[in-house]
Amino acid sequence: MCRALGVSAPLLMGLALQRARIYLDNLSVRVDLRALLADSTAEFRWMTMWAHNKLIQHPDGIVEIPPVAVRELATMIGSSHRDLAAYFTRFTPESDQISENEEDRV
């Protein structure tokens, strides 16, 4: 399956865990910034500004956010890590958007 998708097993497993919303406290989440920009959830409105600024740095629109960064962003907006990580899972990129060669750390 990994060969067919052109991704490594750890990346595929991480995306599966992200979609299932399992182990989000310890998981780096991948986010489609363009999808996040289209969201209008009031509780996370600050994330659209963040996504807009990240899109300038990552024009392909996909970023990987390590757990420590999710915690810091959650603190900044007054949310829990769990709630923000779960919010980010709503914008998990599709498999055809994922590239092994991305250098897209926060």
Mean pLDDT by 10-residue block, N- to C-terminus, for the chain (106 residues)? 73 68 77 95 93 94 93 95 93 68 40
Q: What are the tokens at 49?
A: 């500004």
Is this prediction's pTM over 0.85?
A: no
Q: What is the pLDDT of residues 7-19, one digit of tens each?
A: 677 766 677 666 7
Angle at 69 between CA 66 and CA 89, to 5 degrees: 60
Please state the domain extents for the chain. Answer: 2-97
Instruction: Give the gyration radius of the chain's Cα atoms.
Output: 13
